[in-house]
Amino acid sequence: MEPVIACAIGVLFGSGIWLILRPRSFQVLIGLMLMSYAVNLFIFIMGRLWLDRPPLIEAGKAPDPALVADPLPQALVLTAIVIGFATTALYLVVIIGARGVTGTDHVDGEEPDQ
């Protein structure tokens, strides 16, 4: 299972890099989002893949670390998702403002001559 997840993270991050190098602002934004998803998936997987293990400890029982999933990566990913959503909204507002000022969505503000 781990090699499949590792390949998925690599494909997501590689696709994000490829989109960041594109000339349009929207493609750059999508690339940043894909890279964010890849990093979130990487952080989540750092807690190891467990099947049929609860993320929380039941009330009244002594905690056994071997029987529960690590909650720290889950909390980090949840925080990263919220921060990623806020920065994506900020990027989108900046892109819309730049499009209104320059009249184009090209990254350097000028359309290439064809």
Q: % helix / strand / coil in the chain, to the nearest 5?
A: 65, 0, 35
- Contact in structure between 78 and 72 (CB atoms under 8 Å): no
- pLDDT per residue as tens digits for the range 84-105: 999 999 999 998 998 888 888 8
Q: What is the pLDDT of residue 50?
A: 67
The pLDDT confidence band at residue 106, using thresholds 50, 70 and 90, is confident
What is the predicted pLDDT for the residue at 45? 85
Pick the more confident residue, 15 or 73.
Answer: 15
What are the tens digits of pLDDT across the range 18-72?
Answer: 999 998 889 999 999 999 999 999 988 887 766 666 666 777 777 777 766 777 8
pLDDT-derived band at 114, boundaries 50, 70, 90: low
Q: Where are the domains of the chain?
A: 2-50+71-102
Span 6-16, pLDDT tens digits: 999 999 999 99
Secondary-structure class of domain 2-50+71-102 per CATH: mainly alpha
